[in-house]
Amino acid sequence: DGGITQSPKYLFRKEGQNVTLSCEQNLNHDAMYWYRQDPGQGLRLIYYSQIVNDFQKGDIAEGYSVSREKKESFPLTVTSAQKNPTAFYLCASSKDRALSGNTIYFGEGSWLTVV
């Protein structure tokens, strides 16, 4: 079945450690996105990528890094520089960059807790 797969679903991290969240899609979508969701904050954009080997910072990129070496993969690294990393992370993709006639599809999310 086509879709977006995020892993792990739940992750605990000690302060000071980096952690990488995986996002894979087999929808042949060009654009991929990472959002962070906190209670009462809606979805905030961390990074997005419109094409392989290219990505752009979103609204809250500090303390995060990404790569887009393959079309189907867009991993997110939460670094120790991110001060409040505990959150729900959603990966998404869309067919084309313009979002003009397409919707965005979401993965099931990853819960990251810093202990």
Partner 1 sequence: EDKVVQSPLSLVVHEGDTVTLNCSYEVTNFRSLLWYKQEKKAPTFLFMLTSSGIEKKSGRLSSILDKKELFSILNITATQTGDSAIYLCALSGGGSEKLVFGKGTKLTVNP
Q: Which residues bind to partner 1, rule: CB under 8 A? A: 31, 33, 35, 40-45, 48, 50, 58, 90, 97-100, 103-109
**In the bound complex, what is the minimum distance in angstroms from residue 102's beta carbon to partner 1?**
9
**In the bound complex, what is the minimum distance in angstroms from residue 20's beta carbon to partner 1?**
20
Of 80 and 88, CB closest to partner 1: 88
Of 2 and 16, CB closest to partner 1: 2
Q: What is the DSSP letter of 95?
A: S
**In the bound complex, what is the minimum distance in angstroms from residue 42's beta carbon to partner 1?**
4
Nearest-angstrom CA–CA distance, 115 and 100 = 41
Of 22 and 80, CB closest to partner 1: 22
Nearest-angstrom CA–CA distance, 30 and 98 = 10
CA-closest candidate to residue 19, choices 93, 102, 113: 113
DSSP bridge partners of 94: 31, 104
Tokens in use for 62?
Answer: 């500090």
List the helix and strand counts (H, then E) for the chain: 0, 11
**In the bound complex, what is the minimum distance in angstroms from residue 2's beta carbon to partner 1?**
14
